[in-house]
Amino acid sequence: MRAVHAAATLHDDPTPLARMVGRGARMTVKPLLRLAPVHERTFRRLQRFSAVVNRGGSPDIAAEVGEIGGVPGEVLTPGDGPTTGLHLLYLHGGGFFTGSVHSYRSMLEAMVRATGGTIYAIDYRQLPDHPVADSVQDAINAYAGVLERAGNPAKVVVAGDSAGGYLTMKVAELARRRGLPAPAALLAFSPLLSLEPDRQDKNVVRVDKVREAVLPIARVAALRRLWLADDAIIEGFADPLHATAYITSPTHLVAVEDEFLRPEVEAFALLLDDKGVEVDVHLWRGQVHAFPIMAGYLPDADLAIELAVEFALRHIGEPPAVEVDDAGAQPDLLEGELAD
């Protein structure tokens, strides 16, 4: 595996279970997504499923249902009370048309255990009733709510995967635009950093072939027409890739070797690094898009969460007592630069 960003950490040794998950996704999930019609009925079926599926509910986690900054969601804490001062807003993925607090419960509970802190998760507005512009407003409003609850902005972190990674970076951008305190750190797993990730004419570098196990890139154009409704204007830049001048928070980025979102993740890292922002890049071989959401089920996902949590705790001034053992990782020494 090769990298574009200097000093990226490469994870070259997927577990047998991760290999099996990847093969299964290529054989089942990707073909289904390639064939599924992109219309309202499909979205509503997926939303009904994600609203009722609940892969968590562990007795050692306390859950408070309510509103966060006026947005419906849940606040999760260790059952015996927080052991760290971390307040983490998590923004789920799902292409802006599926995903929920319920469907992410297992991962969220894993993050509570790993951090010992308070995790906030919201059910932001989604397609087909609401475009991306509304999802962005819910994300920044929830962030303002977390700041108010936390009391100390130096303890607030924002995280997300895929579409939630897009919202994570929009929160960082809009916090600066609105004069809110910047997050203490940002964590993004396979983030969507442009609403045009399928375009090939942007100045991003591809060093590996795309063999994405889950997302069919051919469906992006159909989704984009819904993401960018004619009468809904996204506040700030439509693409976080263009907003790096507004982002100052230390950033932890995770991408999979052959997913089609990876080149923009590395380009984003280079842009932040060029502006003096601390960037931690992890590239994983043999995984599927946004694989950390399988924390609690997949050892590779557990490790990815532990590394992200370690980064977050260090940047709120509360490093974990035991350093994460990541024996299989290796630093990459290639110097990166954007293509002309």
Read off the CATH number of the domain in which 53 is found: 3.40.50.1820
User: Does a structural domain hold residue 296?
Assistant: yes
Given a cut of 80, whether residue 7 has pLDDT beyond it is no
Classify residue 120: in a domain, yes or no: yes
User: Tens of pLDDT along 269-296?
Assistant: 999 999 999 999 999 999 999 999 999 8
In the structure, what pLDDT confidence band is assigned to residue 40 with cuts at 50, 70 and 90?
Answer: low
Q: 138 pLDDT exceeds 50?
A: yes
Report the alpha-carbon distance of residue 96 to residue 224 in Å, rounded: 10
Total domains, the chain: 1
Residue 48 lies in a domain: yes
Q: Does 337 fall in a domain?
A: no
Instruction: Quote the pLDDT of residue 49.
Output: 60
Of the listed ranges 119-123, 203-207, 245-249, 251-255, the least confidently predicted one is 203-207
Question: Whole-structure pTM over 0.85, yes or no?
Answer: yes
State the average pLDDT over residues 19-33: 76
Between 60 and 139, the higher pLDDT residue: 139
The domain in which residue 120 lies consists of 9-331
Stronger pLDDT, 10 or 158, i.e. the higher one: 158
Q: What pLDDT was estimated at residue 45?
A: 65
Residue 229 within any structural domain of the chain: yes
Give pLDDT, residue 47: 62
pLDDT in tens, 100-111: 898 899 999 999
| pLDDT of the residue at 231 | 74
Q: Is the pLDDT of residue 336 over 60?
A: no
Mean pLDDT score, 285-309: 94
- For residue 45, being part of any structural domain is answered with yes
- The least confident of 5-14, 80-89, 147-156 is 5-14
Catalytic site positions: 162
Q: Provide the pLDDT confidence category of residue 59 given band limits of 50, 70 and 90.
A: confident
Split at pLDDT 50, 70, 90, the class of 298 is very high
pLDDT in tens, 156-186: 999 999 999 999 999 999 999 999 999 999 9
Residue with tokens 């990541």: 326
If you average pLDDT over residues 27-31, what whole number do you get? Answer: 69
Residue 3 lies in a domain: no
Q: What is the structure's pLDDT at 76?
A: 97
Residue 163 placed within a domain:
yes
